[in-house]
Amino acid sequence: MTETRTHLSTLIRSPDLEKISLMLAKPNIFEILRLAHHEIRHSNFLAWLLDPSQSHNLGDTFLKWFLKEVFQDERVSWIDEFDVDGVKTSNITIHREYKHIDLLIEFPDWVVVIENKFGSSEHSNQLARYRKVAERNFPNKPKAFVYLTPHYEEPKSEDDRAVYVNFTYGSVIQLLEQACDIYSSTMPETVLHYITDYIRVLKRYVMQDNDEAVELARKIYRNHKEALDFIFEHKPDRLLEIGKVFSQRVEARGYVLGSKGKGFTRLLTKELDPVVPRESDGGWPNKESFLYEFDYRNKKVSFRATVAPGEQLLRQQIMDILSRVDGVKKPNSKSWSAVYSHSFNYELTSEKFFDEDKLVEVIDKVLDAVEPIIEKTSACLVDGLKNDVDIADY
């Protein structure tokens, strides 16, 4: 018996394979129509949910829940989340592919621009171009810009990060589950099935998290890799796998993990973690004002010591303290400010790092290289935040 045949024989007798077959046999309209991986189809379904005039029987509930989430962000300064309940939604227009913008919600007095991104990365200055399109076509209306991604991916440029509100598919799932819980008795049965199917598709194909079938698929792939490489479509998301290993190596060195993000690992030292202010509403999910972060989404690993958007006096204080360390710069940006950065020519998503031992080895090399600057800047910042100014004043 050949080695390949042995692997295949082991696979077809696996009870885990029977389990996943039963899970996937449950009918799902999005899977049946092969819409799960198509970004444009997700935008179409979201447009249907956001439109109060559609047949989902939610009225403007989902739309207003969505707007409240967006308008609580400090990057939208011209309207407040508490104003949303009083907004009239009977005369709005939901645009699809408006001059290449995925979704645009046009109100009589303002607009909301939504860029829906999954399965491919931002390219060709898309976000900046969409801002210009909105400014040119709606010059007299205030605008909110939303960057919708699976795992809190951030825009590439600092200018875009200062404008676009990060919104995740995890938040979409939360709003939809809330809607099903509250309004299931008033929804048409078919609509309820569509929405529950969509939630399952988001968890399984977009988030690739909190879904039993995906977890079992990953287990089967690890146990039967040779047999599945050419037939199995549910390979583990490489960035999430790298993130898991990266986080383990970071914690093994005694660091504290910071806000999560797909393709990013963020950290603080144990000494710095208790004193870093959590007051950055326009920054990372956990609102840290400062973090060390590794970005491995592209063909290199980028390390940055970054000051988040937020109260300018606090940002200035942090940058002033860090400027005492040799090699640290003092950026002029008023939003995201990388006070130290360094790149390593390792493409962690490449096949050669599928071997976890090799991945661990290169991650440790990167951590070794940046450890001195982390320790120096952390010690300086701990001392400065404790002694220079009372952070409570901010």
89-93, 188-192, 229-233, 271-275: range with lowest mean pLDDT = 229-233
204-213, 265-274, 371-380: range with lowest mean pLDDT = 204-213
pLDDT at 25 over 80: no
Q: Phi first, then psi: give them for residue 121, nearest 5 degrees.
A: -90, 165
Query: Token pair of 69, please?
Result: 């989430």
What average pLDDT score do residues 101-118 get? 92
pLDDT at 258 over 80: yes
Q: Which of 87, 88, 78, 118 is nearest to 102 (CA)?
A: 118
pLDDT of residue 219: 72
Report the alpha-carbon distance of residue 364 to residue 253 in Å, rounded: 10
Report the alpha-carbon distance of residue 185 to residue 122 in Å, rounded: 40
Report the alpha-carbon distance of residue 154 to residue 158 in Å, rounded: 10
Q: Are strands 264-268 and 256-257 parallel, antiparallel or unpaired?
A: antiparallel
Q: Which of 246, 288, 254, 258 is nearest to 385 (CA)?
A: 288
Q: CA separation (Å) from 187 to 29, 89, 180, 184, 295?
A: 18, 20, 8, 5, 43
Which carries the bigger pLDDT value, residue 107 or residue 394?
A: 107
Which carries the bigger pLDDT value, residue 220 or residue 80?
A: 80
Report the alpha-carbon distance of residue 212 to residue 198 in Å, rounded: 16
Span 345-354, pLDDT tens digits? 999 998 889 8
Q: Phi first, then psi: give them for residue 291, nearest 5 degrees.
A: -150, 155
Residue 38: other Cβ atoms inside 10 A:
13
Tell me which residue has tokens 């290169």.
Answer: 362
Q: Which amino acid type is present at position 13?
A: R
What average pLDDT score do residues 317-341 get? 89
- Residue 92's pLDDT band, with cuts at 50, 70 and 90, is very high
- Residue 39's pLDDT band, with cuts at 50, 70 and 90, is low
Span 77-91, pLDDT tens digits? 999 999 999 999 989
pLDDT of residue 394: 31
- Residue 194's pLDDT band, with cuts at 50, 70 and 90, is confident
Residue-by-residue DSSP string for 159-207: HHHTTEEEEEHHHHHHHHHHHHHHHTTTS-HHHHHHHHHHHHHIIIIII
Q: Please give the torsion angle defined by the CA atoms of residues 65, 67, 69 and 71, in that order, rounded to the nearest 10 degrees.
A: -150
3-state secondary structure of 99: coil
Q: Which of 318, 338, 327, 329 is nearest to 383 (CA)?
A: 318
pLDDT at 265 over 80: yes
Of 156-160, 179-183, 322-326, 371-375, which one has max mean pLDDT?
371-375
3-state secondary structure of 110: coil
pLDDT at 45 over 50: yes
Find out whether 393 and 311 touch, Cβ atoms under 8 Å. Answer: no
pLDDT of residue 210: 62
- Residues 392, 334, 120: CA angle, nearest 5 degrees: 115
pLDDT of residue 17: 60
Which carries the bigger pLDDT value, residue 94 or residue 18?
A: 94
pLDDT of residue 59: 92
pLDDT of residue 76: 94
Report the alpha-carbon distance of residue 20 to residue 25 in Å, rounded: 8
Report the alpha-carbon distance of residue 13 to residue 10 in Å, rounded: 5
For the chain, the domains span 35-187, 238-393
pLDDT of residue 28: 54
Which contiguous run of DSSP H or E holds residue 195?
helix 189-201
Q: Which amino acid type is present at position 165?
A: V
Query: Token pair of 157, please?
Result: 């440029």
pLDDT of residue 393: 38
Which of 41-55 are b and which e, b meaning 16 or more Cβ less than 10 Å from the residue's Cβ? ebbbbbbbbbbbeee
Q: Which amino acid type is present at position 392?
A: A
3-state secondary structure of 305: strand
Residue-by-residue DSSP string for 282-296: TSSTT-BSEEEEEE-
pLDDT at 276 over 70: yes
Query: Token pair of 145, please?
Result: 């810009």
Q: How many residues does the chain have?
A: 394
